[in-house]
DNA sequence: GGCCCTGTTGAGACATGGTCTCAACTGTGC
DNA sequence: GCACAGTTGAGACCATGTCTCAACAGGGCC
């Protein structure tokens, strides 16, 4: 697991199956398989990647089910949907609390960041524009410490 | 024109045709038509909306040309591409300088905001995570002052 | 065990948004 | 007029995501 929440220390996410269970969803075989697949992922992944991997591992999980499960998990806050600069949609496993991500353009690693400083920016924007700001999204892209140090890693099409 | 840049005062954008001209692109008839269409827009708009409007006005401008022109203008910084919470992509006319937008979920109006406060947040994230942050995107959604005051306006599918 | 009901499933059709290709056209310089 | 590069629209194509539908699964009840 790569993702960590800055400011809240190293806190393991509850397993995805637990999140589903608690929310009252049935723990069916396809959902278990997908949960395992997602939990084994590092950094961000796309729905299509998940479909491909499920097919490669002969999990017998359909495309619709992958999208449905991801929607469900996004709603429960167990994963978050990102819009990459390339226009692709990606998902990352994350804490349910409100936060944002910084994504490595090279290896796809993503780290969570809390929005302490950002809250002030949002308040200031609301004050200056007169808007009532209901929702905000911040996404940061760059190079993670490992890639900066020149460690080899797979290139992900982020930028 | 709805968009304004906070912190830089009311500064009219150079006309889109001027932006194209300066960048060395030819000012063809389809581009002029599209520029006029875009300039007449308030708030954000999608590529598909533009295609539909061009067709309705019998401008004889094809889908590919609309996408190509929008790409071109986005590259030149004359429009900016937004990812709405619904997953749609939209564009807004804007200043070439780096900035962000706050978008009204009700009427589609968008205002520009500079990123003075945000720069500090980004620096802080870089310091805490060890990432080198190359790119960041901030999008705010809510209700504009007019909609807050209860003025009637078209509902846009933003949230 | 048998039945019913609801939730869930995969397959595939479909919608949407965007890109690519290609032949035709256009404008510009000579 | 000619050559050439830039630009065009039409339409094929692709990627991503949604919707529909019949089949299935599993829990509760008899």
Bridge partners (DSSP) listed for residue B112: B5, B101
The structure tokens 């400083």 sit at A117
B16: its two tokens? 């889109």
Q: Which residue is nearest to nucleotide C8 (CA to C1')?
A: A28
Contact A73, A19 (CB under 8 A): yes
B122: its two tokens? 């980004």
Residues 89-108 of B with CB under 7 A from strand D: none
Taking chain B (159 residues) in runs of 10, the rounded mean pLDDT of each run is 38 65 80 87 84 87 91 84 73 72 78 78 87 82 83 48
pLDDT number for residue B64: 92
pLDDT number for residue B39: 83
Distance CA B32, CA B22 (A): 14
CB-nearest partner of B125 from A113, A135, A137: A113
User: What is the band of A10 on the pLDDT scale with cuts at 50, 70, 90?
Assistant: very low
User: What is the band of A145 on the pLDDT scale with cuts at 50, 70, 90?
Assistant: confident
Please report residues of A whose CB lies closer than 8 A to that of B148: 130-132
Query: Residue A105 CB: number of other CB atoms within 10 A?
Result: 23
3-state helix, strand, coil in chain A (%, to 5): 40, 20, 40
Q: Is the pLDDT of residue A65 over 90?
A: yes
pLDDT number for residue B145: 87
Rounded mean pLDDT of chain A? 77
Distance CA A140, CA A113 (A): 10
pLDDT number for residue A98: 62
Q: Is the pLDDT of residue A53 over 80?
A: yes
pLDDT number for residue B139: 80
Domains and CATH numbers, chain B: 16-148 (3.30.1490.190)
List bases, strand C, within 7 Å of protein CB: 7-13, 16-21, 26-28
Q: Is the pLDDT of residue A47 over 70?
A: yes
Helix axes B63-76, B29-39, angle to 10 degrees: 70
CB-nearest partner of B125 from A134, A135, A140: A140
Q: Is the dihedral of CA A59, A60, A62, A65 positive or negative?
A: negative
Higher pLDDT, B137 or A65: A65
């Amino acid at each position: 697991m790569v993702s960590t929440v800055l400011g809240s220390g190293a806190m393991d996410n509850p397993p995805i199956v637990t999140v589903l269970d608690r929310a009252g969803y049935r723990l069916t075989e396809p959902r278990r398989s997908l949960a395992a697949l997602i939990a084994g992922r590092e950094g961000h992944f796309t729905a299509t990647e998940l479909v491909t991997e499920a097919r490669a591992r002969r999990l017998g999980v359909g495309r619709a089910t992958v999208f449905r499960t991801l929607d469900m998990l996004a709603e429960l806050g167990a994963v978050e949907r990102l819009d990459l600069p390339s226009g692709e949609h990606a998902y990352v496993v994350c804490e349910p609390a409100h936060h944002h991500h910084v994504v490595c353009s090279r290896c796809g690693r993503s780290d969570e960041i809390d929005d302490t400083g950002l809250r002030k920016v949002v308040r200031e924007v609301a004050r200056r524009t007169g808007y009532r700001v209901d929702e905000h999204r911040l996404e940061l892209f760059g190079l993670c410490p490992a890639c900066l140090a020149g460690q080899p890693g797979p290139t992900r099409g982020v930028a």
